[in-house]
Amino acid sequence: MNRRELLLSLTAGALNAQAPAQAHDPQSYAASVYIPKAQRYEDLQLLQDFMEEFAFVELVTTHPELRITHIPVLVDRSAGKYGTIHGHISRQNDQMKAFDGKQKAVIVFRGPQGYISPTWYDTKLAVPTWNFAVVHASGLLNPVTKLVELREFLARLIAKFEKYQSEKNQGAGFDFAKLPNDYVEGLVQGIIGFQMPIELLEGKFKLGQDRSAADRAGILEHLPKARGERSLAEFTASFYRRPS
């Protein structure tokens, strides 16, 4: 499923969404993103499903300075009220200084996005917009440094995404457990992990769900035909063709 199809799927889901169950106490943590009422979704299952699907994230910290790292993560739905996020970065990354259990962080999960032309609407007086879906998770970063815990985390992380690829490509998949111990230990010593219990979970789904039924129908009709982003395969091939 490409980004355009994902945006279409999320749009259809948002249009059919029921009143959400509350997923956080807004008084306990400062909001990280502006969300108009019509675009705010707090249904915990919806948000956790989104985080599971769009698990390549931006880890944002401000101590000792602003730093953003792009990483894949795992979400433990059962740990804590809203779940706990597990990830890792290189020990050479200065962001590891924020892994002290005291520094606030925001982890941004980005879903599909795309341009929406006003010509798609039944409403004649309208302007273009950009539709998208994101989830922000906020909390404190606790370090994970024990080699056995890091190795177990990497095994789960790899298993999740290898399962996706093996299902798509009908292959056997990569078995992390078969790597030599000394090789794995050398790799693990170069990373630091983190656990972030989620203190605030914010879902922003800007998918035109607040427009008229006719306008929403126009969005659903035209999104499958709209030009989408290049796939990773297309972009990679183009990049490889660049002059040296």
Check whether 20 has a pLDDT greater than 70.
Answer: no
Question: Number of folded domains in the chain?
Answer: 1
* Nearest-10 Cα torsion for 35, 37, 39, 42: 90
Q: Which pLDDT score, from 0 to 100, does residue 8 have?
A: 63
Look at residue 125 and tell me if it is in a domain: yes
Q: Which pLDDT score, from 0 to 100, does residue 62 have?
A: 96
Question: Regarding predicted confidence, which is higher, 8 or 78?
Answer: 78
Question: Regarding predicted confidence, which is higher, 142 or 27?
Answer: 142
CATH of residue 203: 2.30.110.10
Domain limits for position 55: 3-144+192-228
- Measured in Å, how far apart are the chain's first and last C-alpha atoms? 33
Look at residue 68 and tell me if it is in a domain: yes
Look at residue 184 and tell me if it is in a domain: no
Confidence label for 170 from pLDDT (cuts 50, 70 and 90): low
User: Number of helices (H) and strands (E), helices first, in the chain?
Assistant: 6, 9
Q: Which pLDDT score, from 0 to 100, does residue 29 have?
A: 78
Q: What mean pLDDT is reported for the chain? A: 90
Beta-bridged to residue 140, according to DSSP, are: 104
Q: Furthest-apart CA pair in the chain: how many Å?
A: 66
Confidence label for 11 from pLDDT (cuts 50, 70 and 90): low
pLDDT, one tens digit per residue, over 115-156 is: 999 999 999 999 999 999 999 999 999 999 999 999 999 999
Rounded mean pLDDT, 78-98: 97
Look at residue 39 and tell me if it is in a domain: yes
The helix/strand/coil state of 67 is: strand
Look at residue 168 and tell me if it is in a domain: no
Question: Regarding predicted confidence, which is higher, 5 or 70?
Answer: 70
Task: Give the CB-side neighbour count of residue 228, counting CA atoms within 13 A.
Answer: 19
Q: Which pLDDT score, from 0 to 100, does residue 165 have?
A: 80
Check whether 163 has a pLDDT greater than 50.
Answer: yes
Check whether 17 has a pLDDT greater than 90.
Answer: no
How remote is the C-alpha of 156 from its chain's centroid? 17
As a whole number of angstroms, the distance between CA 203 and CA 20 comes to: 11
Look at residue 50 and tell me if it is in a domain: yes
Residue among 1, 4, 16 nearest 224 (CA): 4
pLDDT, one tens digit per residue, over 177-218 is: 999 999 999 999 999 999 999 999 999 999 999 999 999 999
Question: What global pTM score does this model have?
Answer: 0.87
